[in-house]
Amino acid sequence: MASNSKSKQQGQRDLKWKRKLIFVQRYWKDKFPSKDDYDFSVWAMWESRIRKGHKVEENLIAKAAKRWESSLTEEKKELMPDDMFADDYWHALQITNAMYAALVVSLWSSIEGFLKDLACVCKRARHSNKKHPRFDFKRIKQSFKEIGIDLKQLPKYSTVNAINIFNNSFKHSEGFYRPKSGKPYTHIDPKLLTKWESISKRFVDLKEIDYTKLPIRELVIACNLFFQSLLSAVKKNLEELGHGS
């Protein structure tokens, strides 16, 4: 009887974490769309609004410049500097860059939220009372290692880590890429650097990240592939560990 009661309790606990896993999967599904669904995602809408807003701003500056020039005599035009409205264009670019950076920060926030929710499912399945004083990315990775999953071995991990670095660079390094010696998690994968450095000369020369040039679509789709693999690994490993067999 005691054995049957214990088995029943175990079954109920397993059912709870499986339900929680399904809930987590459904809750975050729309945040990380596939290639086919990206164009209907919040990230695509965000990109579209930024691009359209920037175009409107450029047109307004161009019209202001035209009105100003039309009010000048030919003699005054000769005396005016060619870059009269350069600061206006620069400010518009800075605002647009910050908007793209905010998109990346929001993307990382979603990634971190998903990882924390999934880590909590694993903790519940293992009936662990272990507390994490700082549930940051480093500790999140460790929590998955406790059930035999090394996040670094999953597809597109290097891209997910790069998103974290872009996030931290904007919030803590004024948008500059500052990898630290002896801390590999602060380094973007060299293959990705080779791929992305070509899109911005300022990044190559100054390590200043031009967030407007980041391949947002590629980053988001990589998240989808990463989390699909992680979800499958979590379910498989928990069952193999005896939580759900």
Do the domain assignments include residue 169? yes
Instruction: Look at residue 230 in the predicted model and tell me its pLDDT.
Output: 95
Q: Is residue 23 part of a domain?
A: no
What is the model's pLDDT at position 84?
A: 65
Rounded to two decimals, the pTM is 0.85
Residues 22-54: pLDDT tens digits? 888 888 888 999 999 999 999 999 999 999 999
Q: Is residue 19 part of a domain?
A: no
Residue 245 included in any domain = no
Calculated CA dihedral for residues 226, 232, 233, 235, nearest 10 degrees: 140
pLDDT value for 13? 62
Residue 13 lies in a domain: no
- Tokens at 56, concatenated: 């409107």
Total domain count, the chain: 1
The CA angle 107-233-125, to the nearest 5 degrees, is 95
Residue 61 lies in a domain: yes
Contacts of 200 (CB under 8 A, 6+ apart): 209, 210, 213
Structure-block tokens of residue 209: 């990240």
Which residue stretches of the chain have pLDDT < 50?
A: 1-2, 133, 244-245
pLDDT tens track for 160-195: 999 999 999 999 999 999 999 999 889 999 899 888
> For residue 8, is it within any domain?
no
Domain boundaries, position 131: 32-240
> Which tokens belong to 196?
């992305």
CB-side neighbour CA atoms (13 Å) of 175: 17
Name the strand (E) or helix (H) holding 155: none
**Cα 189 to chain center, whole Å?**
15
Q: What angle do CA 210, 213, 218 make, to 5 degrees?
A: 130
Task: Evaluate whether residue 20 is within a structural domain.
Answer: no
